[in-house]
Amino acid sequence: MKKIGFLSFGHWSPGAHSQTRSAKDVLQQSIELSVAAEEIGVDGAYFRVHHFARQLASPFPLLAAVGARTKKIEIGTGVIDMRYENPLYMAEDAGAADLISNGRLQLGISRGSPEQVVDGWRYFGYQPKDGSDDAEMGRSNAEVFLEVLKGEGFAEPSPRPMFPNPPGLLRLEPHSEGLRDRIWWGASSNATAIWAGKLGMNLQSSTLKNDETGEPFHVQQAAQIRAFRQAWKEAGHSREPRVSVSRSIFALVDDRDRAYFGGAKESDSIGYIDPTTRAIFGRSYAAEPDALIKELAQDEAIAEADTLLLTIPNQLGVDYNVHVLDCILKHVAPELGWR
């Protein structure tokens, strides 16, 4: 049994063939898709966060809106770039969105990915401390965020407050109990997956990771998951961790599917996410359902994970993306034991 969600990058463009031609389109359609996905039995609605791009950027208004329109679907991110975030203000936003959704938030955070602009976090007013770098700044912000989510008081109350205070040091409000256990770290390396396990965050592993052994993508990703779980166990956390992997998977059941995805990439590829980091990018899966089932059964990382996030072509519109998700739920998931 696996949880199956969708992951939208929230692309929009004014191109003639795009169904999301503006930021308004993609925001409103993201809400509508989440509602429709819940109705067909999808477990999660997740959204990517990219700044300075024609994509989804400010997650919490969207997460709150989805939470207000749905009842049971998990609502999350994959991922929020912590180099851009004030972790205390983010904790307030996250707490509010989680309360609106009755505790359904699953927040994926990370140090971020290659950007549209040079050092974009500087425009948001942030910069690494002396002797540090932006990756360390992202991890440090994440640690502060995790700490304040515990709900413990840390701020000295005013002796002359505008409103009466409870006794003791004050915490950030609104506080949502249990949200700390629903924070995920998007790891591209084995080392950061181990770090996340030690800190008690769940693990999100995407369609790319650092190429650390030269093995196929799914083999390296499965090893990363096992390293994360071992670190979690050694840290002595009391609950079971969750692990998600992302995949582009399309069941070809009609002419539209074949036209859009019949020529999808069927092998891993190698590239560089920065001048020094060699990365391996996982293949896409697109085939008739019977063939797709056989191919997916060989994916070691999917087998290791408890949650599968299906990356969707959001610019093709709500109706087509509901079709894509429904085909996986009906024709693929049951045969693989995911349903």
- Tell me the β-bridge partners of 236: none
Q: How far apart are CA 271 and CA 250, in angstroms?
A: 24
Q: How far apart are CA 25 and CA 9, in angstroms?
A: 13
Q: How far is CA 211 from the centre of its chain?
A: 21
Predicted TM-score (pTM) of the model is 0.96
Q: How far is CA 236 from CA 124, 152, 198, 239, 240, in A?
A: 37, 21, 9, 9, 10
Q: What is the pLDDT of residue 275?
A: 78
Crossing angle of helices 59-69 and 23-40, rounded to 10°: 40
Q: What is the pLDDT of residue 170?
A: 97
Q: What is the pLDDT of residue 266?
A: 79
Q: What is the pLDDT of residue 68?
A: 98
Q: Closest Cα partner for 46 from 101, 103, 8?
A: 8
Q: What is the pLDDT of residue 89?
A: 98
CA dihedral (58, 60, 65, 68) in degrees, to 10, reads: 170
277 or 6, higher pLDDT: 6
Return all residues near 13 (Cβ < 8 A) that are at least 6 apart.
20, 21, 54, 315
